[in-house]
Structures are given as structure tokens and as C-alpha cells.
């Protein structure tokens, strides 16, 4: 499995307010080039940094880098493997976003750990924009972080 839904409660309202005030730029990297309709904001994220620190401390994982992404309405984010990122914690900031497709399977989630080292994409055709808060990890593997999350959530579960 390349996606693990998690139960962490982000301050969605504060993250959404911060994202709405930021300027986004078209995503571009050395591997994939320009991705029209896929926009990123990673600079000066006071609330994003605070929320990233809180979730990483809660699960006892190395601090990742927070970002906001918008996939514009009626756009495709073609299957890809993330550039220099092993995995990420993704939190949807608005309801009704298109599911992510990972290696042929669709997943709808509010908050999840995603293995970004396997092909994944989003078909946002016929849907409104998809606004995402993402914490990217560069050193720890999906499996390492997944086990820490599972262990921490198991410690708090009520049987």
C-alpha cells in the first residue's frame, strides 16, 4: 500500500487562510519541467511551518518542508514520481477534490501519508480547484514514517 490515511487534526482553517493570502507560481523542476495548472507556494509559510513542526513532533519524525499546492479546475496532473521527495503528508484544505491515482488505483482522503516515489497523479477534470497542504520528506522513507505513524496512532486508539 502506498497511501496511509492518518487521523491527525491539522488547523485547517488557519492553513486555508494562510494559503488564500499567498502568491502561487507554476510548478517547475529539473526532472518534469513546467506543469501548467499545478501551482506551488513554499515561501514564508508561518502557519504551514508551525503545523509541520507540530505533526512531525507528534509522530516523532524528522521535520519536513511545508508547501501549498493548487491543481486548477479541469486540469490533469499526469502520473509522476516526485522530484527529490521520498514521501509526504498531504492534507486537503477543501472538500470535493479529485481523488489521487496511485499506480492505477484511486484514493480519496482528507489527510494521508503518500509514497511519492511511486507513480501517482490526479484527474481534476470536471472538478473545482484542489487545494493541498503538503509536508515533503527527503531522507526518511515512506515505510519508516508509516511505521512511526502507525505506532503513535495505535498508542492513542481506544479498543
The share of the chain scoring above pLDDT 70, in percent, equals: 97
Q: How far apart are CA 44 and CA 67, in angstroms?
A: 10
Tens digit of pLDDT for each residue in 71-86?
999 998 888 898 889 9
CATH of 3-156, one of 1.10.3470.10, 3.40.50.2300, 2.70.70.10, 2.60.120.620: 2.60.120.620
Domain positions in the chain are 3-156
Q: Check if the beta carbon of residue 89 is closer than 8 Å to that of residue 142.
A: no
Tens digit of pLDDT for each residue in 28-55?
877 777 888 889 999 999 999 999 999 9
pTM of the full structure = 0.92
Amino acid at each position: 500500500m502506498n497511501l496511509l490515511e492518518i487521523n491527525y487534526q491539522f488547523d485547517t482553517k488557519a492553513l486555508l487562510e494562510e494559503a488564500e493570502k499567498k502568491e502561487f507560481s507554476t510548478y517547475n523542476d529539473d526532472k518534469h519541467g513546467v506543469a501548467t495548472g499545478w501551482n506551488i507556494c513554499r515561501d514564508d509559510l508561518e502557519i504551514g511551518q508551525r503545523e509541520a513542526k507540530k505533526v512531525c513532533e507528534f509522530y516523532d519524525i524528522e521535520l519536513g518542508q511545508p508547501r501549498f499546492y493548487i491543481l486548477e479546475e479541469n486540469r490533469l496532473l499526469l502520473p509522476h514520481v516526485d522530484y527529490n521527495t521520498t514521501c509526504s503528508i498531504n492534507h486537503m484544505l477543501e472538500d470535493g477534490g479529485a481523488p489521487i491515482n496511485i499506480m492505477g488505483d484511486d484514493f480519496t482522503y482528507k489527510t494521508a501519508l503518500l509514497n511519492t516515489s511511486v507513480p501517482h497523479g490526479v484527474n481534476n477534470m470536471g472538478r473545482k480547484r484542489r487545494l493541498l497542504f503538503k509536508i515533503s520528506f527527503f531522507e526518511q522513507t515512506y515505510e519508516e514514517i508509516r511505521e512511526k505513524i502507525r505506532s503513535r496512532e495505535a498508542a492513542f486508539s481506544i479498543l
